[in-house]
Structures are given as C-alpha cells and as structure tokens.
Copies of this chain bind each other. A is one copy, B any other.
C-alpha cells in the first residue's frame, strides 16, 4: 500500500499489523549487528595465509627489516601499492595499520605546523572550516569536531559532492581549509565521483592557498562486480592543473587483509610527501616493516591483490543483493523509502521518511538489531531531516542478514506509520 496521502483508517490497520510483525521479531530474541563496516569471519579467513608467509630471510632486503630504519615504507611495498594506486615512490608513504591515523596526523600537522613552509598553523587562526559532503563518514567528522574545525554540509549527488556548492564556498572564504571526500563507493552512499567531478576537484581555486582535499580512497578496489566503477587519479588530475599540493590521498588494506593489522598509505605531491616525512621523523623511527613485507609476499603482485578482492566480492555481493531485494519487496510500493544500489564499498544508504530515522534505529535496537546510530552520517551527529540510515551488510552471515534486514524494514514502516497517524 501507498503510505503517503493514505486514508487514516487504513493506516491504523497497517499499524496494528506492523505491531504484530514487530512483536514476532522481538520474540525471536535476535542479536544482530549491521552497525559497522566490519568484514565477516569468512572474509578474514582469506588472509590467514599471511600469518605464516614470512621467513626470517625474507626480511633481509633493503637492509634488515627486523631492525630500525626506513621511515617512509619499504621499497617493495612502495612498488606494489604505488603500481596499484598510480603513484611514484616519492609520492607515497607506507605507514602503520590505520589510514584514519594518517588522516588524523595530517590534520594535526596542519593544525600545529601549517600545510607548507611559511603557512600559518591552523591552530593559530580564529576559525578553520571544512566542507563535509553528507551523508558521510562519522570518523572524518569526529576529527574535525575534536580539533574545533567547523563543518559545513554539502549534499552528495549521484556524481559525487555537489561541486557547484563546493566551488562557490571555497572561492570567497579563506577560513575554508579543506574538504573530506570518499571518492569511490562512498561511505555510506556507495557513490563514485564522476570524471567531471574529479576534474572539478582538481580545478578548484580556493581563496585559502593552504586548502587541502582529504581524499579517503578507502574502497578503491572494493568492487562487488567484475566490472568496477572507475575513478580518475586525483593526483594526476591535479598535476594537470598545477595544483598537486592540494591532494592528500589515503587508503589502507584494512578491508583487503586484516582490519587493524593491515598497512596504510598516503599519496600526495612530492613536496607534501617530503614535508610529511620530515614531520614524521620526529614522531617515529618507522612503521612496521615486517608487516609491510608480509603483505608484499602474501600478494606477490597487483594481480594477487585483485584476486583477493574478487574473493571478497564473492562473499559480499550476495549480502548486498539480499538487502536490496528485501528493501524492494518492502518499499517499492509504498514509496516512503529510497536507497542506493552501490557497486562496491561497504554500505547501503537508506533515506526514510523525514523524522523517522532515530525512531527506526530505536525500534531495531529493541528487536535485537544494532544499526549505526541515526545522525552518525552527518557532522555533529545531526541529520537535519532525521532520515538517513547507514546499513552495513558485511559482518553478519547471509542468514543473519536476511533476518536483520526484515526487522529493519518492519521497523522503518512502523516508524513511518507512527508518524503519519499522529
């Protein structure tokens, strides 16, 4: 049935039906989690070969990897990931287990030391602002919030962030120092920036000359289908416009091998990488080179990475399809809900009827299904329309997921009808 503009009596009837359905789910005492983009146990298994892959003699390259030394990553890892991402060895840093940590450190360096020689540290300025495409990744927003950086929402469109709005914002306001972007299979929408969007990024003319694009390419190779979305190389595009210092690119193997025990990397202009290395030399003697070598030997080459990602896709694809199918079954007719159909990444983004997201999450929780908190996909945790929910289908088994998404659909419908009959 169509919920909007519907006869109240019919809605009340639907309400009673939904309450019964909901009660049935509650009685099942489920305990399911669709809250975070965590790989499943089946996916983790794909990397178990890593635990034994290294022999001591594998470490006897580029000096002795078991000892101190090499701040910016072992040459073998730079070569492998440089080829994968399209970067030269002096445009890439191979770091520790967390790309979030590199993003945080990069932001902190801008706060304390400025983005380049002679530029004002952001912590010395009265106001620093960042553009945040929404919905987006809560951990990006938390970094800004923690550092007192004011966030400005800009909408996501099917081709990436609304570049009209971005261009307009940056050109007149030098307190706007940067923008977050997950350019491929975005979190949570699963949107990939179009070629035009990437070129417009590379052509930005910000009033702040220390403006930076924080390009979190977390899902660069995380396709669900053989033919993945393609994304232009931001650094290459920025070179064409002569603005390569504007691009900070990040990624990691957190969802390629083991989350928490992978390697992360940063790609940027030679000048930015040189500066980052200088700062890093105060901070650490070097990252875990043995774990870098472990990855290199496990994958051997770019084909090894590609083949690993195909195995991940085979596990992930049915889960995404199960969610989409159930959403279609529940909402195709009543049209109160829209959702994305990503071709990669870790999330499906669902927009409910306005002012029902929080209630839906609450209802789900009370039926044993954990969702990402409503509002989490917006700066300060505030979704102005209280309608966006991020579904993370990766972690549960397919059976658990099917239950969880059925519960979600009933809760979303219930929250909607509750609102409409008020």
Interface residues of A (CB under 8 A from B): 36, 38-39, 41, 44-45, 47-48, 51-52, 54-56, 64-69, 96-98, 100-101, 104-105, 108, 111-112, 123, 139, 142-143, 146-147, 254, 258-261, 279, 282-291
Contacts and interface: CB of A to CB of B under 8 A. Distances in A.
A38 B112 contact: no
Nearest to A290: B261
Given A100-B283, A112-B123, A283-B100, A51 B56 contact: yes
Given A111-B112, A261-B289, A284 B104 contact: yes
Contact of A258 (B52, B142, B290): B290
A31 to B, nearest CB: 14
A51 B48 contact: no
A282 B68 CA distance: 28
A164 to B, nearest CB: 31
A73 to B, nearest CB: 12
Given A56-B51, A283-B101, A261 B45 contact: no
A61 to B, nearest CB: 14
B261 A285 contact: no
A47 B146 CA distance: 40
A104 B283 contact: yes
Given A100-B285, A261-B290, A48 B38 contact: no
A259 B68 contact: yes
A36 B285 CA distance: 12
A44 to B, nearest CB: 4
A97 B261 CA distance: 12
Contacts of A100: 283-285
Most buried by B among A41, A44, A51, A287: A51
A102 to B, nearest CB: 10
Nearest to A113: B146
B288 A288 contact: yes
Contacts of A289: 260-261
B291 A146 contact: no
Given A96-B96, A291-B291, A66 B38 contact: no
Contacts of A279: 146
Contact of A67 (B67, B143, B258, B285): B258
Nearest to A262: B288
A100 B282 CA distance: 9
Contacts of A69: 260
B286 A260 contact: yes
A38 B68 contact: yes
14 contacts: A38-B67, A44-B66, A52-B52, A66-B258, A67-B260, A68-B259, A98-B284, A100-B284, A101-B283, A104-B283, A112-B123, A112-B147, A139-B285, A288-B288
A191 B36 CA distance: 49
Contacts of A66: 44, 47, 258-261
Contacts of A64: 41, 44
Contacts of A65: 260
A272 to B, nearest CB: 18
B41 A51 contact: no
7 A-B pairs with the lowest CB-CB distances in the bound complex, closest first: A261-B290, A68-B259, A44-B66, A101-B284, A104-B283, A98-B284, A48-B56
A282 B142 contact: yes
A31 B226 CA distance: 54
A23 to B, nearest CB: 31
Given A67-B260, A96-B96, A288-B288, 6 more contacts: A44-B64, A67-B259, A104-B283, A112-B123, A260-B287, A261-B288
